[in-house]
Amino acid sequence: MKFDLLFSNPGLFLRKATRRVANHLLVLLSPAARRHSEVGPAVGWKETREVQLEYLKKFIRPEHYLLDLGCGTLRGGIPIIRFLQEGHYYGIEVRDNVLEIARKELQNEKLEHKNPKLIHVSDLSKGKIGRKFDFIWAHSVLIHMTDEILDSCLCFASEHLDSLGRLYANVNIGEKKDSTWKEFPIAFRSLQFYSEVASRHDLNCEEVGPWRNGEQTMLLFQLHGRG
Ligand SMILES: C[S@@+](CC[C@H](N)C(=O)[O-])C[C@H]1O[C@@H](n2cnc3c(N)ncnc32)[C@H](O)[C@@H]1O
């Protein structure tokens, strides 16, 4: 928690501090909140779940194939799995233990019959899924990548997008110093940085608009010369 905020913006400092305490309490008291906190704050988890399909529903149909890159515990994945046809959801994740939690969530939600593919990928530069996707959804994932991993990620996306496919990803646009979340960085980069990495992998990158409270930006990546 940054104490300089206490003097520059006491209201925001208080809101952030209250949220942090509420989150700690929730994680202490509730096993579900402990699971949920593997992918972000337990406070606001439900809203962060719901907003994902709500957003995607503007574009996706049940017959589309979607890859949830960095699917975590299926916070966003469960409603998407429910929406898509059987076998059309693929989730990939770097942390094996988190994927185990995802499998239990799937059982709890009685959604195993939708036959989603949950795949552990320890290194995206070696990941091969064996099919192309209409959509790749990377919710709060690119922000947790080093520049080298981001490069592998956009290479992976370029190889796995259908010719008209789209990758949507929320990012932090700015020049702030990286901080950390669990074993990952929290990255702030310029739009030009994302465009340059994308173009190395035959992808266009465009800004779609603000994401949620406007602290983040939604980017869309598509193959050059698509169609
Ligand atoms: C903030 S969580 C978001 C999870 C999920 N997308 C959601 O919004 O509910 C970020 C997830 O991305 C995963 N991740 C980070 N780097 C990754 C990589 N290189 N390949 C695959 N998954 C990655 C993390 O393990 C974590 O589960």
Residues 129 and 26 in one domain: no
Residues 113 and 197 in one domain: yes
Range of the domain at 27: 1-39
Ligand 1 atom with least separation from CA of 76: 9
Q: How many angstroms does the Cα of residue 204 sit away from the middle of ligand 1?
A: 23
pLDDT of residue 22: 84
pLDDT of residue 177: 92
Residues 59 and 32 in one domain: no
pLDDT of residue 69: 98
pLDDT of residue 85: 98
Residues 74 and 33 in one domain: no
Q: How many angstroms does the Cα of residue 184 sit away from the middle of ligand 1?
A: 9
User: What is the Cα–Cα distance from 199 to 176, expressed in whole angstroms?
Assistant: 23
Residues 14 and 81 in one domain: no
Residues 217 and 108 in one domain: yes
Give the pLDDT of the chain (227 residues) as one tens digit per residue: 667 788 888 888 888 888 888 888 888 888 899 999 999 999 999 999 999 999 999 999 999 999 999 999 999 999 999 999 999 999 999 999 999 999 999 999 999 999 999 999 999 999 999 999 999 999 999 999 999 999 999 999 999 999 999 999 999 999 899 999 999 999 999 999 999 999 999 999 999 999 998 999 999 999 998 76
Its pTM stands at 0.94
Q: How many angstroms does the Cα of residue 220 sit away from the middle of ligand 1?
A: 18
How many domains does the structure of the chain reveal? 2
User: What is the Cα–Cα distance from 90 to 65, expressed in whole angstroms?
Assistant: 8
Is residue 166 a contact partner of residue 136, using CB atoms and an 8 Å limit? Answer: yes
Report residues whose beta carbon is within 6 angstroms of any ligand 1 atom. Answer: 39-40, 70-72, 75-76, 92-95, 98, 121, 124, 139-141, 144-145, 149, 184
Ligand 1 atom with least separation from CA of 92: 21
For ligand 1, atom 11, name the residue with the nearest CA: 70
Q: How many angstroms does the Cα of residue 100 sit away from the middle of ligand 1?
A: 14
Residues 29 and 106 in one domain: no
Best CA proximity match to 188, nearest among 170, 175, 207, 206? 175
Residues 144 and 202 in one domain: yes
